[in-house]
């Protein structure tokens, strides 16, 4: 009975503390939220949570402690025959008196493998000019065209200052920097939380501004221009001159403004509810310079490839509802997110975690997630050679109709020296859907919407 009582109180305490931490997480992580992403499922790593923002560790980072708190984690993400991501994360949390805390996070990841370039699968060998204009890569008959130049190293640094000026009031101010070979992102974020109703209700407001600079390898493709090939020219100079006509010089930028409003209510000592509304406005370069579309004839044969072009503005809104309940031996939460934007992408996300305390020093947590989205209004599986080129078009499957599912387990163990060790293993699957495109000619012979499977493993330590 004593153990049961202790675990029940511990679970209830964790639920109550979460209500005080929601605004902190919202403000410090806006740069990695779905609002800041150019598409709803930009990265399956982000989608499954296998990023520097493990929820349990982040929540613990803001609890009161006298000495510095350190979190380290290693994440491995592996798609079948596609992308591999290895990431290391270091986070330091330090109190300064009773009212201030500084949380700094450093993450380094490497990305290798191959990414779908947007072209349709064909019965003959397909050849593509590399983004740099030097060399080619090929897709075999019946094979999804993959760009094997997908390699990068990314360094991310974020820092958040948490200040509690008075009882029941909390403010945050943070900065964010991410640098990779062809992309740089910097941002500022902040927020506030106000408690009332005897501390049972919290209202929060968070915002963020981000400025991104894209400098693609080989330059930015001119919108909807056709790919050229070295084999079609008598000399390297002639090819280079024609290739340069498909490129725009210089870098391009993108600006993002995110705002989030939320209300958290402690219903009773076991139940906590949260509702959030978020709006994001993005302006600037959102085209993926490495994606193409196939131009096909009436037989479904690809007769050319064109570089994609996306709109330079996007307004996105989301509504998030979450319920969390403390149980005798753990915690259960269930959340739903609905998102819409003026690209005509509507998405639904249903997610749940069920944590069971095995002992006073160990737990296991089940994670389930289901996601569904509609296609962007400018998404196309292909272009037709008997039709004029559209102003905007993309064959990036992440902008198409898609379903995705995640199932995973996380185990945590408090060691004798007080260190919390956790291990998380998840299976993730994306299922692209056909949103009404005719599979003409040879296209119907192949799966033009193949599933994408991935395994995510994470090992973490908090001390």
Confidence band of 65 (pLDDT split at 50, 70, 90): low
What pLDDT is recorded for position 379?
Answer: 99
58 vs 308, residue with greater confidence = 308
What pLDDT is recorded for position 446?
Answer: 98
Residue 149 has pLDDT above 50, yes or no: yes
Residue 39 has pLDDT above 60, yes or no: no
Tokens standing for residue 356:
């069971």
Q: How much is the mean pLDDT over the chain?
A: 89
d(CA 456, CA 84): 10
pLDDT tens digits, one per residue of 338-383: 999 999 999 999 999 999 999 999 999 999 999 999 999 999 999 9
Confidence band of 281 (pLDDT split at 50, 70, 90): very high
Name the burial class of residue 186, with classes exposed (0-12), middle (13-18) and buried (19+) by CB atoms within 10 angstroms of its CB: middle
Confidence band of 64 (pLDDT split at 50, 70, 90): low
What pLDDT is recorded for position 61?
Answer: 39
- How many Cα atoms occupy the beta-carbon half-sphere of 363 within 13 Å? 20
Q: Note whether 333 and 324 are within 8 A (CB).
A: yes
Residue 43 has pLDDT above 70, yes or no: no
At 203 the three-state DSSP class reads: strand
Q: Note whether 454 and 78 are within 8 A (CB).
A: yes
Strands 292-296 and 383-384, how do they pair?
parallel
pLDDT tens digits, one per residue of 237-263: 999 999 999 999 899 999 999 999 999
pLDDT tens digits, one per residue of 398-430: 999 999 999 999 999 999 999 999 999 999 999
Rg of the chain over CA atoms, in angstroms?
Answer: 24
Could you report how far apart the first and last alpha carbons of the chain are, in Å? Answer: 29
Residue 437 has pLDDT above 70, yes or no: yes
What pLDDT is recorded for position 452?
Answer: 97
Tokens standing for residue 381:
């599986």
Smallest CA-to-CA distance from 120 within 435, 397, 346, 401 is with 397
The H or E element spanning position 9 is helix 2-28
Residue 170 has pLDDT above 50, yes or no: yes
pTM of the model: 0.86
Residue 32 has pLDDT above 60, yes or no: no
Percentage above 70 pLDDT, the chain = 86
Q: Which of the residue ranges 86-90, 144-148, 314-318 would you say has the lowest mean pLDDT?
A: 144-148
At 159 the three-state DSSP class reads: strand
Residue 217 has pLDDT above 60, yes or no: yes
Domains of the chain: 2-462 (2.40.160)
What pLDDT is recorded for position 66?
Answer: 63
What pLDDT is recorded for position 1?
Answer: 38
Give the CA dihedral 33, 36, 38, 42, nearest 10 degrees: -20
Q: Which of the residue ranges 28-37, 69-78, 364-373, 412-421 would you say has the lowest mean pLDDT?
A: 28-37
Residue 223 has pLDDT above 80, yes or no: yes
């Amino acid at each position: 009975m004593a153990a049961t009582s202790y675990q029940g109180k511990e679970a209830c305490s964790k639920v109550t503390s979460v209500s005080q931490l929601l605004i902190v997480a919202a403000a410090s992580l806006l740069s990695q939220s779905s609002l800041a992403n150019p598409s709803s499922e930009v990265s399956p790593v982000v989608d499954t949570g296998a990023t520097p923002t493990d929820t349990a560790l982040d929540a613990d980072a803001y609890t009161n402690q006298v000495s510095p708190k350190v979190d380290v984690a290693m994440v491995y993400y592996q798609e079948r025959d596609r992308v591999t991501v290895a990431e290391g994360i270091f986070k330091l949390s330090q109190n300064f008196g009773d009212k201030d805390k500084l949380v700094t996070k450093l993450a380094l990841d490497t990305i290798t493998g191959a990414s779908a370039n947007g072209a349709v699968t064909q019965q003959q060998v397909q050849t593509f000019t590399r983004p740099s204009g030097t060399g080619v890569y090929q897709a075999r008959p019946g094979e999804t065209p993959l760009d094997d130049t997908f390699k990068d190293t990314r360094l991310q640094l974020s820092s958040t200052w948490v200040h509690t000026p008075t009882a029941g009031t909390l403010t945050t101010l943070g900065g964010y920097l991410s640098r990779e070979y062809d992309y740089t992102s910097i941002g500022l974020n902040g927020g506030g939380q106000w408690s009332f109703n005897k501390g049972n209700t919290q209202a929060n407001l968070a915002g963020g501004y981000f400025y991104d600079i894209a400098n693609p390898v080989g330059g930015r493709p001119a919108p909807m221009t056709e790919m050229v090939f070295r084999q079609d020219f008598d000399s390297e100079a002639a090819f280079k001159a024609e290739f340069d006509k498909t490129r725009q010089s210089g870098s391009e930028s993108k600006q993002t403004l995110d705002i989030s409003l939320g209300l958290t209510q402690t219903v009773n000592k076991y139940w906590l509810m949260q509702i959030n509304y978020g709006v994001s406005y993005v302006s600037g370069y959102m085209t993926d310079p490495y994606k193409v579309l196939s131009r096909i004839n009436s037989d479904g044969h690809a007769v050319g490839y064109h570089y994609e072009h996306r709109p330079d503005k996007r307004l996105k809104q989301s509504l998030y509802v979450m319920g969390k309940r403390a149980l005798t031996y753990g915690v259960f939460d269930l959340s739903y997110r609905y998102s819409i934007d003026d690209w005509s992408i509507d998405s639904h996300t249903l997610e749940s975690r069920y944590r069971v305390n095995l002992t006073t020093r160990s737990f296991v947590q089940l994670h389930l997630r289901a996601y569904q989205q509609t296609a962007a209004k400018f998404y196309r599986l292909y272009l037709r050679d008997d039709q004029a080129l559209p102003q905007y078009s993309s064959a990036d499957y992440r902008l198409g109709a898609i379903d995705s599912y995640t199932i995973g387990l996380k185990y945590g163990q408090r060691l004798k020296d007080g260190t919390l060790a956790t291990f998380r293993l998840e299976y993730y699957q994306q299922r692209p859907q056909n949103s009404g495109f005719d599979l003409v000619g040879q296209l119907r012979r192949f799966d033009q919407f193949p599933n994408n499977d991935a395994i995510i493993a994470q090992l973490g330590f908090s001390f």
